[in-house]
Amino acid sequence: MKKYQIIYADPPWNFGNRMYSSNKNDHHREITRAYPVLKTLDICKLSIKDITDNNAVCFMWTVDAFIPEAIEVMNAWGFKYKTVAFIWQKKEKSGKQVCYMGQWTMKNCELVLLGTKGKMTQYLKSRKVRQLQEASRERKLHSKKPQIIRDKIVEMFGDLPRIELFARQKTEGWDCIGNEINGKDIKQQLEEMING
C-alpha cells in the first residue's frame, strides 16, 4: 500500500454556533448544504496513520476558532503540531479584502497548520517560502482553497508522495480523496485504499 509523506487536509469542521455573521441568512445551514460536516472526534478517528509514512508532514486548514481542534486531530493522526505554515489572506478579484463572519472580529484569513512525524527536516527543500499568501477567492465553490498553497507545499518539500484529504476536485500531481470527487465518504475511501 502506498504511504504518503505529505498530508494536505481541509477537514469539514462543524462550526455549529461558532459562526456569526452580519448577514441575516443562516450561513451555517448554507455551509452544511454545500458539503457534509464532521464532528472533531469523527475526523480524529479516520485511518490516516495507516496511509502515512514514518517521516511525514501534515498541512491542515483551519480557522482561528478551531485551532485547538485542529491540533487535536493532528495528534490523533500521529503528527506533532509545529507552526502556522500559511495564512491565506482572502481577497476579491478586485483586490478588496474579504471580510466575513466572526464572533469577535470580522475574519479575512484562514490558517494552514503544520505538524510533523519522524524526521521531515531532512526533506525540506526551501526555507524561503512565505507564511502570508494573498490569493483571490473563487465564489464558485464554498471553501475552495487557492492552488498557491499546494504549490508552496511542493516548493517546500519537493516531489514527495502526497495526498489531499477532503478534496473538492482532482489536482495534477496529487492523489485526492473527498466526497465531491466520487460521491463516497472519506472513511469509505480510506478503507478501500488500505484494503486494496
Distance separating alpha carbons of residues 72 and 113, to the nearest angstrom: 12
Q: CA triplet 148, 74, 114: central angle to 5 degrees?
A: 35
DSSP letter for each residue of 155-177: HHH-S--EEEET-SS--TTSEEE
In a structure prediction context, what are the per-residue pLDDT tens digits for the chain, which is 196 residues long? Answer: 899 999 999 999 987 654 444 444 444 444 444 568 899 999 999 999 999 999 999 999 999 989 999 999 999 999 999 999 999 888 777 777 776 667 777 778 899 999 999 999 999 999 999 988 877 766 555 568 899 999 999 999 999 999 999 998 999 999 999 988 888 889 999 999 999 8
Residue 138: per-residue pLDDT: 64
- Looking from the CA of 17 toward its CB, the CA atoms found within 13 Å total 0
